[in-house]
């Protein structure tokens, strides 16, 4: 079986305590995750990400819908299904603050029924990978937030479960530590071949680590696609063309007649044309006209789009530029 997680028609409505107002947090969400896949679960604040993650790891009961993990329904056979999942929710809360780094690792290994001696090399390996070896005898409440976050992920790795759920793994970390956690996650993906679901507002993390993304807005899935497809789909069809010599005013008028979206920036050294293509082959028409006008082209640059811009466009409901083509 290829799919390790299958979420089908999931629904969850909350009742606000004071007003009794109903909030449809998750409204018929379906998606699946393949073994070994790294999925980014995204959405603006209040979209329903945390509710979805909590239902997957059995902390919240859905009103409707099913979740299967490795083919096991997580409501019918909760404990069996959850054996396959480790989660790091709300950063460092799954740690024991009055135990040391090492004691936390030992404790969670003990939960798996493995002897301290047998698991020691694996713990050493993880502490080294996560750059926590020098802190192994430090109490968790004395660690920085970034170190606690790293330890929480290391503990999740120790469980050797097939799936790891990470809710906002870089939230509140400084740039340097955020980068370190990102590197560690990339290492996990490369070295350990786990299935990972990451929810994050940090688009660099998502673009860097995930292969596919499910974007949720107002409790429903608005996009489920590979990140490279989305980047291609939303690529801005705008080009900047640097010319070898300036255009005469007659040439400018002629070009504008043919290409209404064209803008010309005269510069004696590097005059440029900018164009938003209405059709894919329009660029060839432009070159043809420049050729007949004996205007040399020095360079052509395509504007690129980053994943954060793609995310914003999707959440705002903008169509991909390819729809124009
Ligand atoms: N226990 C609760 N009681 C009432 N409403 C809730 C409860 N938990 C979440 N909600 C509401 O459900 C909606 C979805 O919340 P959820 O935390 O799942 O979103 P999220 O995508 O994780 O948001 P964020 O990015 O801000 O963490 C929001 O409108 C939220 O206010």
Structural domains in the chain (count) = 2
Same domain assignment for residues 279 and 143 = no
| Residues 136, 260 within the same domain | no
For 281, the domain range is 237-302
Helix (H, G, I), strand (E, B) or coil at 251: helix
Q: Please check whether residues 209 and 297 belong to one and the same domain.
A: no
**Are residues 188 and 83 part of one domain?**
yes
- ipTM > 0.90 for the complex: yes
Instruction: Please give the number of the atom of ligand 1 that sits closest to the Cα of 52.
Output: 18
Residues 213 and 117 placed together within one structural domain of the fold: yes
Its sign, for the CA torsion 284, 289, 293, 295, is negative
- Residue 325 inside a domain? The answer is no
Output the pLDDT for position 227: 92
Question: Digits of tens for pLDDT over the chain (325 positions)?
Answer: 589 999 999 999 999 888 889 999 999 999 999 988 999 999 999 999 999 999 998 889 999 999 999 999 998 888 888 888 888 877 556 788 889 999 999 988 887 777 778 889 989 999 998 899 999 999 999 998 888 988 998 888 887 788 989 988 888 788 888 888 888 888 877 777 789 999 988 888 898 889 999 999 999 999 999 999 988 877 777 889 999 999 999 999 999 998 888 999 997 788 999 988 877 788 888 999 999 999 999 999 887 778 888 898 888 886 555 433 3
With CA atoms as reference, report the closest residue to 172 among 200, 196, 134, 151: 200
Q: Which atom of ligand 1 is nearest to the CA of 219?
A: 14
CA of 112 to the centre of ligand 1 (A): 32
Q: Is 200 in the pocket of ligand 1 (CB under 6 A)?
A: no
Asked, for residue 308, whether it belongs to a domain, the answer is: no
Protein residue with least CA distance to atom 17, ligand 1: 50
Residue 289 sits in the same domain as residue 182: no
Task: Output the domain CATH number for residue 175.
Answer: 3.40.50.300
| Other C-beta atoms lying within 10 Å of the C-beta of residue 263 | 12
Report residue 71 CA to chain centroid gap. Answer: 25
Nearest CA to ligand 1 atom 23: 46
- Counting ligand 1 atoms within 8 A of each CB, the residue from 25, 45, 170, 311 with the most, and so the one to mutate, is 25
CATH code, domain with 254: 3.30.70.1560
CA of 152 to the centre of ligand 1 (A): 23
User: Counting atoms of ligand 1 from 1, which one is nearest the CA of 50?
Assistant: 22
Asked if residue 311 belongs to a domain, the reply is no
Q: Are residues 173 and 69 in the same domain?
A: yes
Report whether 296 contacts 195 (CB < 8 A). no
Pick from 40, 167, 34: which is nearest to 94 by CA? 167
Task: Based on the fold, state whether residues 228 and 248 are members of the same structural domain.
Answer: no
Residue 321 domain-assigned? Answer: no
Instruction: Note whether residue 59 is domain-resident.
Output: yes
Helix (H) or strand (E) holding 255: helix 249-258
Last residue of a domain, one of 190, 209, 232: 232
Measured CA to CA in angstroms, residue 14 lies from 3, 50, 216, 307 at distances of 29, 13, 17, 32
């Amino acid at each position: 079986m290829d799919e390790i997680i299958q979420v089908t028609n999931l629904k969850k409505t909350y009742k606000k305590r004071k007003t009794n107002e109903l909030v449809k947090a998750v409204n018929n969400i379906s998606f699946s995750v393949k073994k070994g896949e790294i999925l980014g679960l995204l959405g603006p604040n209040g979209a329903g990400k945390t509710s979805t993650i909590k239902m997957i790891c059995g902390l919240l009961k859905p009103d409707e819908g099913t979740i299967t993990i490795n083919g096991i329904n997580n409501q019918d056979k909760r404990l069996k299904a959850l054996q396959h999942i480790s989660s790091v929710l709300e950063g460092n809360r799954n740690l024991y603050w009055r135990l040391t780094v090492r004691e936390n690792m030992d404790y969670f290994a003990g939960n798996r029924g493995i002897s301290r001696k047998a698991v020691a090399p694996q713990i050493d390996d993880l502490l080294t990978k996560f750059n926590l070896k020098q802190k192994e005898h430090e109490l968790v409440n004395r660690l920085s937030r970034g170190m606690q976050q790293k330890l929480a992920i290391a503990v999740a790795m120790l469980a050797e479960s097939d799936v790891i759920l990470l809710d906002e793994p870089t939230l509140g970390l400084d740039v340097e530590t955020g980068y370190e956690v990102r590197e560690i996650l990339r290492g996990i993906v490369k070295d350990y071949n786990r299935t990972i679901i990451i929810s994050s507002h940090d688009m660099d993390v998502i673009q860097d680590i995930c292969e596919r993304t499910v974007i949720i807005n107002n409790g429903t899935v608005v996009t489920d696609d590979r990140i490279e497809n989305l980047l291609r789909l939303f690529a801005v069809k705008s080009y900047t063309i640097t010319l070898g010599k300036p255009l005469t005013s007659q040439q400018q008028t002629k070009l504008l007649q043919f290409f209404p979206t064209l803008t010309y920036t005269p510069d004696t050294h590097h005059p440029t044309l900018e164009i938003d293509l209405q059709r894919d082959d329009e660029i060839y028409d432009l070159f043809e006209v420049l050729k007949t006008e004996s205007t040399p082209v020095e360079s052509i640059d395509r504007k690129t789009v980053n994943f954060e811009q793609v995310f914003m466009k999707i959440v705002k409901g903008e169509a991909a530029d390819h729809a124009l083509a």
